[in-house]
């Protein structure tokens, strides 16, 4: 009888370890995507402040709020006890600096701001694509990421369409 219990306990230990490992992998992926969303919040808040057009200010504020919601949703999925901060990515800092440089050297105007935002949206799409390539994601986390990526794609396409129809400032 003890022979049956021992292998079962090992099996349960392995299942527990596998689940814990998957949650740890999920947590790392989720932290990266939380940082990307933090970048979007900062980038769109800056873009809203730089935009002269009310429609852009409204859109950028809406997209910043969207990323706040996404980051909060992702934070609720992080299963380990590590603190999830409001950090941003190094790439995000570079992106925001690039927006600052464009504004400083006359790259302002509707088309330039939209081009900067599209650059950020491309980075978000890439981050979500890479996140979804993580084979250790649990099905519930994968579903959340796929939903968010789809919504982000719509935002990307809207920004790109607006950029393509905007007239450049000279």
Q: Is the pLDDT of residue 77 over 50?
A: yes
Which residues are CB-contacts of 151 (< 8 A; sequence separation ≥ 6)? 66, 70
Query: Sign of the C-alpha dihedral, residues 80, 82, 86, 88?
Result: negative
How many Å apart are CA 113 and CA 52, to the nearest integer?
A: 10
DSSP calls for 36-61: HHHHHHHHHHHHHHH--SHHHHHHHH
Eight-class DSSP state of 105: T
- Which position has the token pair 């950028």? 60
pLDDT, one tens digit per residue, over 9-53 is 555 554 444 444 444 456 778 888 998 898 888 888 888 887 888
We find that the CATH architecture of domain 25-165 is Up-down Bundle (1.20)
37, 64 contact by CB (below 8 A): no
Specify the range with the lowest mean pLDDT, choosing from 43-52, 68-77, 87-96: 87-96
């Amino acid at each position: 009888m003890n022979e049956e219990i021992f292998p079962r306990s090992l099996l349960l230990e392995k299942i527990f370890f596998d689940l814990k490992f998957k949650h740890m992998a999920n947590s790392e992926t989720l932290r990266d995507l939380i940082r990307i969303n933090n970048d979007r919040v900062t980038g769109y808040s800056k873009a809203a402040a730089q935009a002269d057009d009310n429609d852009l200010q409204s859109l950028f504020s809406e997209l910043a709020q969207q990323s706040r919601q996404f980051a909060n949703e992702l934070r609720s999925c992080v299963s380990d006890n590590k603190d999830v901060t409001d950090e941003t990515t190094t790439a995000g800092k570079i992106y925001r600096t690039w927006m600052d440089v464009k504004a400083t050297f006359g790259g302002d105007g509707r088309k330039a701001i939209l081009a900067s935002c599209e650059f950020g949206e491309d980075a978000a799409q890439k981050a979500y694509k890479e996140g979804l390539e993580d084979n250790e994601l649990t099905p519930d986390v994968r579903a959340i990421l796929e939903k968010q990526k789809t919504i982000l794609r719509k935002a990307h396409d809207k920004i790109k369409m607006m950029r393509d129809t905007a007239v450049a400032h000279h």
